Every structure is written in C-alpha cells, then in structure tokens.
Amino acid sequence: MGQISVEHDVAGIKGLCVITPAVHGDNRGYFSETYNQRDMNEAGLAYNFVQDNQSSSTKGVLRGLHFQIHYPQAKLVRVIRGAVYDVAVDLRRDSGTFGKYFGIELTAENHKQLLIPRGFAHGFLVLSDMAEFCYKCDDFYHPNDEGGIIWNDPDINISWPEIDTPLNFSEKDRNLPTFKEAVIP
C-alpha cells in the first residue's frame, strides 16, 4: 500500500475506518495525495465515489445527525481548513454495534479522514473559528430521502466536546427525532 495508513473497524465498529494519507512537506509547504482508488482498493476499501461535497461553517455549528433512508451513502470525510469533531452512528440493525457511535477530531493539520460505510448517521461540530469540510459519497443525494437523529439523543449519548461558543443548528437539525423515534432503514 502506498500513500495511506488505515485503521480498520475503529472502536470495534465493522467497516468504520480512519485513514491517514502520507504528507510530504518541506520549507515550501506540503503535498498529500488525499484520495487514490488503487490504495483504497489495496486496503480492502472498494468504493465507487460519485459525488464530492464541501461545506463551510463557523465555530459552534453542529450539523447532523443525518442519513439517507432508502439510498444510503458511504462517505469519506475530511477537513481542509480548521477543525471539527466528527461523529458516525451505526444504524445497521443487524450489526453488533447498532446504536454505537464513534467520534474523532478531524483537522486541516492532522489530515485524518473518516470512512463511514453505508448504514450510518453522520454529523459534526465545528471547533475552530471556521471550518471547511469535504466529503465524497458513493451514491447521489436524494432530497426526499433524508433521515436524522437529534444531536443530543440520550440513548446514543454522544460526548460532544465543550466549546466556548453557543451551539448553532439549522431549524431542521434542531427538530430531528430521537433515536427511538427515527425512521431507521
């Protein structure tokens, strides 16, 4: 395997991976190959990504927890500016880790990426003054297929980092159902 290191099944959650690409730097800056399908295939991660998305958010913005109901998407997420606390929640009913979450700080400096397989809810909290978040998806977005779970669900019990700014939500995210109420595929 060339330019990436992969931690498979993080937190004991099958299919969830932390990927760290090689970063080559000198006094001019750095170069990193952020995605290489051949390296991913060699690591056992055969995905066909069809859509790239990017968002910009200010400190305290919490997006999620989102998922697609009938057209689930695998995602490869990373931060290119700033820092976020990124969360994936296992929604695969046949999984031994159904309802379990994993959280990781993704930053422009650590270059880490989180590979989230199909069947997960996803969200993130912006920790820096500003963050730019990028992700690849292996299926197209279907706007009438959105599902979600409220960020502070007591059954999932995510340990979000404390920040010195009030949390900022979209109206949609503020009114998401609980884990028990959500329509989970």
Q: Which residues are catalytic?
A: 66, 135
Helix (H) or strand (E) segment spanning residue 55: strand 51-58
| Total Cβ atoms within 10 A of residue 89 | 27
- Dihedral in degrees, nearest 10, Cα atoms 164, 126, 5, 141: 160
The pair phi, psi for residue 149, each rounded to 5°, is -135, 140
The encoded tokens of residue 132 equal 């730019």
